[in-house]
Amino acid sequence: MTSTVAPPIETSRTAEPRPQGARFGLPVATCLVMGNIVGGGIFLLPASVAPFGTFSLVAFAVLTVGAIALALVFGRLAHRHPQTGGPYVYARAAFGDFAGFLAAWSYWITTWVSNAALAVAAVGYLSVLFPAIGRHAWSTCLAALAVQWLPALANLAGTRYVGAVQLISTVLKFAPLLLVAVGGICFFDPANLGPFQATGQSAAGAVSASAAILLFSYLGVESAAVSAGEVRDPARNVGRATILGTAGAATVYLLGTLAVFGLVPHEKLVSSQAPFSDAVNAMFSTGGGADGSWGGTLVACAAVISMVGALNGWTLLSAQTPYAAARDGLFPKVFATKRRGVPVAGVIVTVVLASALTVYNSAFPGGGGGSQGLFEILVLVTTFTATVPYLLSTAAQIYFLASGRSERVDRGRLVRDALLAGLAFAFSMWLVAGSGYAAVYQGVLFLFAGVLGYAVMAGKRHRAAVAPAA
Q: With H, G, I as helix, E, B as strand and everything else as coil, classify residue 470.
A: coil
What's the rounded Cα separation, in Å, for the pair 368 and 355?
18
273: number of Cβ within 10 Å: 9
Torsional sign, CA 74, 76, 80, 82: positive
Q: Tell me, what's the pLDDT at 371?
A: 38
Q: Do 140 and 133 meet the contact criterion of CB atoms below 8 Å apart?
A: yes
Q: Do 111 and 39 meet the contact criterion of CB atoms below 8 Å apart?
A: no
Would you mind telling me the total number of residues written for the chain in this entry?
470
Phi/psi at 24 (5° precision):
-75, 135
Instruction: Give the up-direction half-sphere exposure of residue 265: CA atoms within 13 A in the CB hemisphere.
Output: 2
In this prediction, the residues of the chain whose per-residue pLDDT falls under 50 are 1-14, 286-292, 367-372, 406, 470
Q: Tell me, what's the pLDDT at 257?
A: 85
Closest listed residue to residue 166, CA positions, set 34, 298, 256, 75 = 34
Which residues, 6 or more positions from 24, have their beta carbon under 8 angstroms from its beta carbon? Answer: 32, 159, 163, 227, 230, 231, 232
Q: Do 393 and 91 meet the contact criterion of CB atoms below 8 Å apart?
A: yes
Q: Tell me, what's the pLDDT at 279?
A: 82
Q: Tell me, what's the pLDDT at 348?
A: 93
